[in-house]
Amino acid sequence: MAISVGDKLPEVTLVKATENGPEQVNSSEYFAGKKVALFSVPGAFTPTCSARHLPGYVEKSEELKAKGVDEIVATAVNDAFVMGAWKASAGANDITMLADGNGDFAEAVGLTMDGSGFGMGKRGQRYSMVIEDGVVTELNVEAPGDFSVSSAEHMLGQL
């Protein structure tokens, strides 16, 4: 069952891509005490993710922060090295990359997809959420192949 508005995030380990290398973080501790705009993509460097999804959050980062967001987080079922390279190549300095290499977070929130037909295996769906002190206050899950409700622009309208 997928996570819903009002639910607390599940406790899993994610890996933060940092300048000093991968750093493990506990989701319940990491999201405590702050307001986070999180978006999930099926994969770093994939077409829509790189051409539209991440750039939208980079472009709108100041506006999101002006509306009370403390941190903007991107997650994908990729390793921290890939997420770090994606951040660097996109100039996404204001975005925190949390790698979900084994898909544990995607599985725990019930938002997985099967990308086997594209050689990608199990991945996280395209979605966004606003998290306040570890609790989901907004959730926007895309229909397969769509990109609209998980955009930075849509989230700005919700804040």
Q: Positive or negative, the Cα torsion across 52, 116, 112, 141?
A: positive
The answer to whether residue 29 is catalytic is no
Nearest CA-CA partner of 38 in 144, 131, 145, 126: 131
Distance CA 9, CA 128 (A): 13
CB 112 within 8 A of CB 1: no
Active-site entry in 49, 83, 98, 131: 49
Enzyme catalytic residues: 49
